[in-house]
Amino acid sequence: MNLLASIEACLFVATKPISVKELIKVTGANDVDVLSALDELTRLRNVEGSGVHVLSLDGTVQLVTNPESAEVVARLAKDEVAPELTRPSLEALTIIAYRGPVTKPEIEAIRGVNCSLILRNLLMRGLIEERDDAAKLQSVFSLSPDALRFMGLHSKEELPDYATLHGNAHIDKLLATVMTETPPASV
């Protein structure tokens, strides 16, 4: 696969802006080639007829929708987040509520399946927050203040059996075992 396609694929699956340094790292290409591929991708995508544009800001890059499509995208986003949460979404949200801050691989280890789309949906709904964690060297997910307000709670410690489930030894052991193995494949 060529570098431009690899970068485009990485940007497509990312839930947040990716630094150019990260693209250099994951593609194994040098900085000149990555910057050149990003310029080409921007030239190809940031045109009137494209529904997807490349947004560059402060050393990060992200695929975004064409501003001309904002009305249609807003309708889709409203429809996508309007229905009730699915059982898998509730499972992921529960894991994040009780075990957060937690990484995507940890969530997937507990659930046993890929959670990329579920996490995206929960982020879009404002039920969870994502931030980088220097100690874990990756993003972690936590329950959002909006989710707490929606549930009528002042803190996540008010969740039923929070102390027992937050520090559950069986889950800690599972995560320790699984995290030393290869993490689940992402889509």
Q: Let me know whether 104 and 173 are in one domain.
A: yes
CATH number of the domain enclosing 149: 1.10.10.10
Place 157 in a pLDDT band, splitting at 50, 70 and 90. Answer: confident
Q: Let me know whether 110 and 155 are in one domain.
A: yes
Question: Which has more confidence, 166 or 154?
Answer: 166
Residue 174 has pLDDT above 80, yes or no: no
Q: Let me know whether 38 and 115 are in one domain.
A: no
Place 185 in a pLDDT band, splitting at 50, 70 and 90. Answer: very low
Place 176 in a pLDDT band, splitting at 50, 70 and 90. Answer: confident
What average pLDDT does range 114-135 have in this prediction? 88
Residue 152 has pLDDT above 80, yes or no: no
Q: Let me know whether 62 and 92 are in one domain.
A: no
The 3-state secondary structure of the chain, one letter per residue: CCHHHHHHHHHHHCCCCEEHHHHHHHHCCCHHHHHHHHHHHHHHHCCCCCCEEEEEECCEEEEEECHHHHHHHHHHHHHHHCCCCCHHHHHHHHHHHHHCCEEHHHHHHHHCCCCHHHHHHHHHHCCEEEEEECCCCEEEEEECHHHHHHHCCCCHHHCCCHHHHHCCHHHHHHHHHHHHCCCCCCC
pLDDT of residue 170: 77
In a domain, 173, yes or no: yes
Domain of 170, in residue numbers = 87-180
Q: Let me know whether 60 and 104 are in one domain.
A: no
pLDDT of residue 80: 58
Residue 81 has pLDDT above 60, yes or no: no
pLDDT of residue 85: 81
Q: Let me know whether 45 and 104 are in one domain.
A: no
Task: Look up the pTM and report it.
Answer: 0.54
pLDDT of residue 186: 45
pLDDT of residue 3: 95
Give percent of the chain with pLDDT exceeding 70. Answer: 90
In a domain, 187, yes or no: no
Question: Which has more confidence, 167 or 54?
Answer: 54
